[in-house]
Structure 1
Amino acid sequence: MLELTDAQIGTWVATFMLPMFRVTALLMTMPIFGTKMLPARVRLYAALAITVVIVPALPPLPEFDPLSLRGLMLCGEQIIIGALFGFSLQLLFQVFVIAGQIVAVQMGMAFASMVDPANGVNVAVVSQFMTMLVSILFLLMNGHLVAFEILTESFTTLPVGSALLVSHYWEMVARMSWVFGAGLLLILPVVAALLVVNIAFGVMTRAAPSLNIFSIGFPLTLVLGIWMFWVGLADVHSHYQALVTEALQWLRDLAQAR
């Protein structure tokens, strides 16, 4: 008759439960996989499958009682680590969302909004286009595989039960406050061109007050903004490579990985 001790059961539970908490937290918060377009049940199945695959390659995990205070603290630790990884990737996508929002306001398309199926909020159409573009680039360039690789390495660099340097993580998150600046630099040529156009319309209004500048300026600004945005898409790939390289490197620094 097979007899199982509490220690054996605790070891088996720790072997699968603790890694699964970290993987699940990443899938629930990272871009694309953590959106409302992917059902939570599918994400849970994916987290279970990924956990089963990576568990044999993980270092030995400590025994713990899931119902004890130490067990709950270990589970919370894994959730925090996985969520930090996911939110750090979200900042990369928000760079392109902010870039689209800025150019939409400048060209007069801020009123053209639609419901984002990923987050369930209204966003500018240009921002939605940029989100879809960066999602395709992220998947085509295997960004998700790099994220899973870093997550697997984190079980060695940040073993379960190790002391979390909370200040270090918040310092890394604070370093990613470059989102707004990076989004502005991404769309800076379009903003500069539209600024020159608006200044020219201001001079025209001052020189000829009777000129109906709104009937002329709005269509011209809109057409010129769309044309400049289309021209600027030629450099999006190079900008994306630089931004995703920096974001993934910060993710490695966050995980203290190689």
Structure 2
Amino acid sequence: MVTFSEAQLMAWLSPILWPFLRILAVFSVAPLFSMRAIPMRAKIGLAFFVALCAQAVLGEQPVISVNGREALGAVAQQVVVGLSIGFAVRLVFAAVELAGEVIGLQMGLNFASFFDPTSNAQMSAVARFFGNLSMLLFVVINGHLMVLMAVVKSFDSFPVDGHFMQALGQMRLHEMGAALFSSALWIALPMIALLLFVNLTLGIISRVAPQMNIYAVGFPVTLTVGLLGIAATLPMMEQPVLTLFQQAIDLFAAQR
């Protein structure tokens, strides 16, 4: 009769269990992977498949028993690191959506808001458009593969050792938070300058020709110029978004 000891079972399951938890935490937060259209069983199966395929490059992993005291810290560490990776990528989309909110405010289109089921909040039409565009760009540049590579590389920076507080102290998510607003304003800067020039021109026209109803003319003009400006500046949005994606990935994939 073939028997297995607990140590042998842990030696077989531990290299897959902890990466599986980290990848599953990423799938619960990261864009595209966390979509409600994807069934939960598919996410669990894909996380297990990625953890199984990553064994060839993960190297030697420490064996942590699920009955030991280190198991709770290991679980907390995997969940926190996985959620942090997904949250860092989500911040990139938040920066693009914030840029869309600023542009929509300048255009006067913020009243056209919709309910976003992903964030459970109201979002303007321009921000929704920029968010969908960034999602398409994320797929085109194989951002989903970059996220999976970042998860695998994160085991070099945050190994499975159960040191929850140490992993929490090594993260630099505050850098992404600081870059959120600056990057959003940088993306929206061309449209802000264009619409500011249009508003200044309309202000001068209202002083030169007071009999003109500037309120009836101003909204169609700013709306038309805003739409033309968005169409002209969309190719310029690629490089800032790619830079933000690279910053988010480097937080976890860089060697320490």
Q: TM-score, normalised by structure 2?
A: 0.89
Q: Which moved more, 1:78-87 or 1:50-59?
A: 50-59
Cα separation, 2, equivalents of 1:101 and 1:67: 49
CA RMSD of aligned residues (A): 2.2
Residue 122 of structure 1 aligns to a residue whose secondary structure is strand
- Alignment-derived partner of residue 230 in structure 1: 231
The answer to whether the Cα contact below 8 Å between 1:36 and 1:119 also exists between their aligned partners in 2 is no
TM superposition shift of 1:106: 0.6
Letter aligned with residue 91 of structure 2: L
Cα separation, 2, equivalents of 1:56 and 1:247: 25
Cα separation, 2, equivalents of 1:157 and 1:165: 9
- Alignment-derived partner of residue 135 in structure 1: 135
The answer to whether the Cα contact below 8 Å between 1:30 and 1:86 also exists between their aligned partners in 2 is yes
Deviations 1:95-147 (A, max 9, x none): 21111111111101101122324334321111111112111211121122122
TM superposition shift of 1:62: 2.9
TM superposition shift of 1:81: 1.0
- Alignment-derived partner of residue 114 in structure 1: 114
- Alignment-derived partner of residue 179 in structure 2: 178
The answer to whether the Cα contact below 8 Å between 2:114 and 2:122 also exists between their aligned partners in 1 is yes
The answer to whether the Cα contact below 8 Å between 1:114 and 1:123 also exists between their aligned partners in 2 is yes
- Alignment-derived partner of residue 75 in structure 1: 75
Q: 1:61 to 1:248 in 2, by over 3 A?
A: closer
Pairing 1:166–2:181 present: no
Cα separation, 1, equivalents of 2:220 and 2:6: 73
Alignment gaps of 5+ in structure 2: none
Cα separation, 1, equivalents of 2:70 and 2:246: 37
* Aligned 1:149-228 pairs, distance under 5 A: 149-161=149-161, 163=163, 164-169=166-171, 172-176=172-176, 177-206=178-207, 211-228=212-229
Cα separation, 2, equivalents of 1:48 and 1:167: 28
The answer to whether the Cα contact below 8 Å between 1:19 and 1:55 also exists between their aligned partners in 2 is no
Deviations 1:36-70 (A, max 9, x none): 33333322121111112113432333333324432
TM superposition shift of 1:248: 2.8
Residue 29 of structure 1 aligns to a residue whose secondary structure is coil
Cα separation, 1, equivalents of 2:84 and 2:139: 20
Q: How many equivalent residue pairs?
A: 253
Q: Which moved more, 1:160-169 or 1:24-33?
A: 160-169
The answer to whether the Cα contact below 8 Å between 1:15 and 1:61 also exists between their aligned partners in 2 is yes
Identity of aligned residues (%): 28
- Alignment-derived partner of residue 239 in structure 1: 240
Deviations 1:175-226 (A, max 9, x none): 1121111111112111111112222333444555554321111111111111
Alignment gaps of 5+ in structure 1: none
The answer to whether the Cα contact below 8 Å between 1:37 and 1:117 also exists between their aligned partners in 2 is no
The answer to whether the Cα contact below 8 Å between 1:97 and 1:127 also exists between their aligned partners in 2 is yes
